[in-house]
Amino acid sequence: MSYTYTRFLFPSMSWLNAFSRKDAKDWYELYVAKIPERLQVLQGYVNSTPGFEAWELGYEPETVRMLERWFIGHVELRLQTTEELEQYYASVPERFKNLPTIVTTLTDETNSLVVDMSMYFGEYMRHEDTGLQWNLCVNGKKNVEYQNPVIVGSGFIPQNPRGLMDVFALKVGDKTQKPDYLINLKNTWIPILWLERKTPPKKEN
């Protein structure tokens, strides 16, 4: 079945960090508003693939496993351009410059699929624990999740689904992903999102 996949790309970290609070809030609201539409786009793309015609959007374990298998088959890498490599090398602290340089990166289509998968995974988390919700991370510019859409509970650690799906895609690219990656990731993260920050005991005078 022929299917035209419409891409939806995510701002780079440098762009997000440079956003005003209003721009970041506008982007967050667009991202969340797009979730139902993008999940339908994702389902259309999955159903256009031979062997996945019967897949239906949902969060049962076998549904999650089937989507994971589909995603693994659609991750693509490309060589970084000379300009990208120069920018990467310039951003690396001096003490790390002797480490091997990563010469590949995700294609634009894979980056868009990462965004769609981040929306799916965030909704999967919320389906499994109805106390979780989407939020905009506004805690400090040094926070790696700063001005990203995140999943939160009552704990002090937010979850960045896009960052997690980006790591998943890169693991697929270098063939280091493990079976049931999404299910295990969900099981790992749900208790983390409810962790309260420990307060040191007060010293007695």
Question: What are 27-50's pLDDT values in tens digits?
Answer: 999 999 999 999 999 999 999 999
Q: What integer pLDDT is reported at residue 198 of this predicted model?
A: 72
Q: What is the pTM of this model?
A: 0.89
**Domain-wise residue ranges, the chain:** 13-190
Q: What integer pLDDT is reported at residue 163 of this predicted model?
A: 95
Inter-residue long-range contacts of 36-44, CB under 8 Å, 24+ positions, other chains counted? 38/8, 38/115, 38/116, 38/119, 39/116, 39/119, 39/120, 39/123, 41/5, 41/6, 41/8, 41/116, 42/113, 42/116, 42/117, 42/119, 42/120, 44/3, 44/5
Task: Please measure the distance between the N-terminal and C-terminal CA atoms of the chain and give it in whole angstroms.
Answer: 75
Structure tokens at 113: 């699929």
d(CA 102, CA 156): 32
User: Do 117 and 33 form a contact (C-beta atoms < 8 A)?
Assistant: no
Choose from 21-25, 69-73, 139-143 the range with maximum mean pLDDT.
Answer: 69-73
